[in-house]
A and B are shown apart, each in its own frame.
Chain A
Amino acid sequence: MATTVENLPSAEHERPIGFGRLKRKEDARFIRGQGRYLDDIRLPGMLHGAILRSPFAHARIVSIDTSRALAHPDVAAVMTAKDLETLGLAWMPTISYDTQAVLAGDKVRFQGQEVAFVIATNEYSARDALALIEVEYDPLPPVVNARRALDPDAPIIRDDKPGKTDNLATPTWEAGDEDATERVFADADVVATRDVMYQRVHPSPIETCGIIADFNPQTGQLDIYNGNQAPHVHRTAYAHVAGLAEHKIRIMCNDIGGGFGNKVPIYPGYVCAIVASLVLHKPVKWMEDRSENLISTGFARDYLMRGEIAATRDGKILAVRTNVLADHGAFNGTAAPVKYPAGFFGVFTGSYDLEAAYCHMTAVYTNKAPGGVAYACSFRITEAVYLVERMVDVLARELDMDPAELRLRNLIRPEQFPYTTKTGWVYDSGEYERALRLSMETAGYEDLRKEQAERRARGELMGIGLSFFTEAVGAGPRKDMDILGLGMADGCELTVHPTGKAVVRLSVQTQGQGHETTFAQIVAEELGIPPADIEVVHGDTDQTPFGLGTYGSRSTPVSGAAAAMVARKVRDKARIIASGMLEVSVADLEWEKGAFQVKGDPTRSVTIQDVAMRAYGAGDLPEGVEGGLQAEVCYNPENLTYPFGAYICVVDVDPGTGAVKVRKFVAIDDCGTRINEMIIEGQVHGGLTDGVGMALMEMIAFDEDGNCLSASLMDYLIPTALEVPDWQTGHTVTPSPHHPIGAKGIGESATVGSPPAVVNAIVDALAPFGIRHADMPLTPSRVWDAMQGHPLPPV
């Protein structure tokens, strides 16, 4: 089997040294079906685990009888909370300093919670044996609604916590100046208020979550195969919990079939498989099925937000205020730097120059799956942007003003950057108006409005929706941000071999973002070595430096900076060696991509490859210079990066059915310096599809007993090629002033920015019905209800 794509024709201009369109190196294995995903790995003697899950949302466990399962000829062991208690592992820490039951002992707190773990010689038998375990439950009243969780007489979900008398998941959190904001609101000409729900959704990567744990009792080495987004964080967490040294644990991610935040947390199944391998001294595999993925692993959103916006009569936005009720499920597994219990929701002031802002947030436990982590959420900026962009449209209607005009009047101006928001975020750079005007020009905004007027006159329901978003990505500065005490910095190591070929080792881990290509391009740009000669190593803790991983669009802002800095460090050393080779001072050398030249004499130069050979060669090196050509860095970002964008969505709503067709979508993104246009556009296309999915069809729903109604892809609807339009993308470039190459993150921009554009378009289409707001997902029936004057209230 060939392992290259050398038989593919490729134009020379598509093979840049440095930035530009470059087809991906990693494609060679994927297009041949040679990717190595978790379920493709088979180890000799491997056992298979399966999890028995709770059918109830809330129930006391009276008894568990595993004897019949143990009698199954293929079953090696059955694990329950009692077994884990003897090891001190019945509960595990979450990434928000909460605790989560690995296996339920006292009671179950959501439908699908892990109750027992069966280990058998094959997967079919492991699953068959689940049916042989007898669990007696004493059902308790469930709390499924976040508002109900606040009732004084609501059942206490987390009675495992001594003295717990309420369902609050975190202390109340606030941002901004409450009094100043109240003063602005009291004096404002116009105030608009709406309850806005961002429903619970799920990342649902097409590859579900799983693990293989392989403990060797002779060497004390624990090998873990597990596609996750933060292998070094996982390793340190396992080291803490298992009492092993980090260097005795090796995590290998191999290829990952999508992440979207779903593969950030440590799940109970991982802990069970590791414990089973430690005890049984055999490799143990656990792989969830789709239903388990949807009902038990990291969901996203579930934010009920009361939005308020204040403005002058002529359209100057003065202040925004919000009160949020966040549903965290049964255990608080929110992924956020620990000082930010609401993630980065504080950027809900959006892209506007305001006088005041205030946010108040209450987070509760409910009898629903834990998480609150995921789905390209940028640490809750998805919710923040949706709220403010919805409220700006609500205000535009109140003022009878075009929503584009209202935004243009209020966007932060270029000369105001760096701009400190009323909640304390320092936006690094932006040219907002340029991006918004480009989106309007690309979409033909004026013509669209004319067409809409004509169609309306004929009784047709056409809508045009805008959104303008500012993202905050690249967490983050050590002084402010950490996950479980680990500072959010990333390492990078670069070795240039004697022949001038190079290996760069990353602490971040791709789940499809194309790191093997992009990071080769970053090093190529800095060192002049062709990307084809640069191998990118990632996802194996034994082969890579420590760092916090890939989520929250942080790979390029943090690890990308590390890659540029390590390449510059190597170049600095190469310059000294080159000065010796050319017998001139360092100051007399000029760097032309890939070679050092003597100033004023271009005939005297050495390439980076010449320098590499000399660095390892027999000749003398300048005084004080060690042999070899390699370096390492640990990059601590000075600030977040703030990508932004302007999106325009056009929809047609069928007046007879309420079905929404997204006809056109224009996305203008600004992620600063662009490393690989092709990959950036691909990231945007994917995020736009996520956004349309959430706006139109995706929701994890529950009935009043806490039964999950979205437990398969027949019920949890994800867009296919037929539900999305032919995306139109464009860009502006406003480099980040503090990032070494000026780049900002892009992975989540479109997921953050597109839902409000779609909803704004639908609400615009429904304007003839007097509708100001309708909650997602805007399925035909929900749109129909809205058209009848009965939009469903926030759940």
Chain B
Amino acid sequence: MEISIRINGETVTRDVPPQTLLVHFIRDTPGLTGTHWGCDTSNCGACIVQIDGRAVKSCTQLAAMVEGHEVRTVEGLEVNGVLDPIQQGFHEQHALHCGFCTPGMMMASRSLLDENANPTDQEIRVAISGGICRCTGYKNIVAAVRWAAEYEAAQPSPTKQEV
């Protein structure tokens, strides 16, 4: 079946089997392999993207269910060569080792800050608890999200990107 989804502001249209998962639809789009899969059971969170601004595990959605919706992936975080503060925070605070869970962690974190500009550490932990990181022990991910929140609070104008 033919499916059209807006991904990072561009419409992607492809003829795919009806059972195609959103994560596979995204990853089969040239240049968009940053969204990963890791568990098949919606436990690991490596596949988290934003759908209409909300963090969603893209392995829990059929591509067909997302027809007509806006998807934002890790590749959509950097705009015009400027990193999203979340990306910057992950680098500043050493919040990634192997980098495999990182796109999902960053998309979950972006969604948190979009809804709550000044979360507590516990709120950050809850927001990223849909993902599993085997490398970092989470402490630096919490620090990275805090870094991004403080960076955004210090900006004279909002840095959030309209998707």
Interfacial residues, chain A to chain B (CB-CB below 8 A): 1-2, 5, 7-8, 23-24, 26-35, 37, 39-40, 124, 203-208, 255-260, 289-291, 511-514, 678-679, 681-690, 712-714, 718, 720-722, 724, 726-727
Binds A, one of B50-58, B63-71, B130-138, B155-163: B130-138
Chain B residue contacts of A260, Cβ below 8 A: 134
Main secondary structure, interface of B, reads loop
**Across the two chains, which residue of chain B brings its CB closest to A728?**
B139
User: Do A290 and B40 form a contact, CB below 8 Å, given A257-B99, A720-B132, A727-B139?
Assistant: yes
Q: Within the complex, which residue of A203, A683, A724 is in contact with B138, where a contact is CB–CB below 8 Å?
A: A724
Contact B100 A257 (CB under 8 A): yes
Q: Within the complex, which residue of B35, B94, B103, B132 is in contact with A718, where a contact is CB–CB below 8 Å?
A: B132
Tell me whether B96 is interfacial, beta carbon within 8 Å: yes
CA distance A209 to B92 in the complex (A): 30
CA distance A206 to B43 in the complex (A): 11
CA distance A685 to B75 in the complex (A): 28
Chain A residue contacts of B83, Cβ below 8 A: 5, 7-8, 31
**Number of B residues with CB within 8 Å of any CB on chain A:** 57
Contact A27 B135 (CB under 8 A): no
1/0 per position for B79-108, CB-CB distance to A under 8 A? 001110001101110101111111100100
Main secondary structure, interface of A, reads loop
Chain A residue contacts of B102, Cβ below 8 A: 30-31
Provide 9 A-B residue pairs closer than 8 Å at the C-beta atoms, listed in order of the A residue. Answer: A33-B75, A39-B36, A207-B36, A208-B38, A256-B98, A257-B100, A514-B97, A682-B135, A685-B139
Chain A residue contacts of B130, Cβ below 8 A: 720
CA distance A718 to B138 in the complex (A): 13
Chain B residue contacts of A722, Cβ below 8 A: 125-126, 129
User: Do A255 and B81 form a contact, CB below 8 Å, given A718-B132, A724-B138?
Assistant: no
Chain A residue contacts of B41, Cβ below 8 A: 290, 712-714
**Across the two chains, which residue of chain B brings its CB closest to A27?**
B91
CA distance A678 to B93 in the complex (A): 9
Please give the distance in Å from B54's CB to the nearest CB on chain A.
19
Contact A207 B90 (CB under 8 A): no
Contact A720 B131 (CB under 8 A): yes
CA distance A659 to B94 in the complex (A): 31
Tell me whether B39 is interfacial, beta carbon within 8 Å: yes
Tell me whether B150 is interfacial, beta carbon within 8 Å: no
User: Do A206 and B97 form a contact, CB below 8 Å, given A7-B83, A682-B140?
Assistant: no
Contact B137 A688 (CB under 8 A): yes
Q: Told that A27-B90, A721-B126 touch, could you supply 17 new A-B pairs with CB distance under 8 A?
A: A8-B88, A31-B96, A31-B102, A32-B75, A35-B100, A206-B39, A257-B36, A290-B38, A290-B39, A290-B44, A512-B97, A512-B99, A684-B137, A685-B140, A712-B40, A721-B138, A722-B125
CA distance A686 to B94 in the complex (A): 12
Chain A residue contacts of B87, Cβ below 8 A: 31-32
**Across the two chains, which residue of chain B brings its CB closest to A26?**
B99
Tell me whether B114 is interfacial, beta carbon within 8 Å: no
CA distance A32 to B92 in the complex (A): 14
Tell me whether B34 is interfacial, beta carbon within 8 Å: yes
Contact A37 B43 (CB under 8 A): no
User: Do A31 and B100 form a contact, CB below 8 Å, given A685-B139, A712-B40, A713-B132?
Assistant: no
User: Do A712 and B106 form a contact, CB below 8 Å, given A8-B83, A255-B99?
Assistant: no
Please give the distance in Å from A672's CB to the nearest CB on chain B.
21
CA distance A208 to B40 in the complex (A): 11
CA distance A655 to B33 in the complex (A): 47
Q: Within the complex, which residue of B40, B43, B134, B137 is in contact with A258, where a contact is CB–CB below 8 Å?
A: B134
CA distance A24 to B126 in the complex (A): 27
Q: Within the complex, which residue of A5, A35, A678, A714 is in contact with B99, where a contact is CB–CB below 8 Å?
A: A35
Please give the distance in Å from A254's CB to the nearest CB on chain B.
12
Contact B103 A33 (CB under 8 A): yes
Tell me whether B149 is interfacial, beta carbon within 8 Å: no
Contact A34 B40 (CB under 8 A): no
CA distance A208 to B121 in the complex (A): 30
Chain A residue contacts of B131, Cβ below 8 A: 720
Chain B residue contacts of A726, Cβ below 8 A: 121, 139, 142
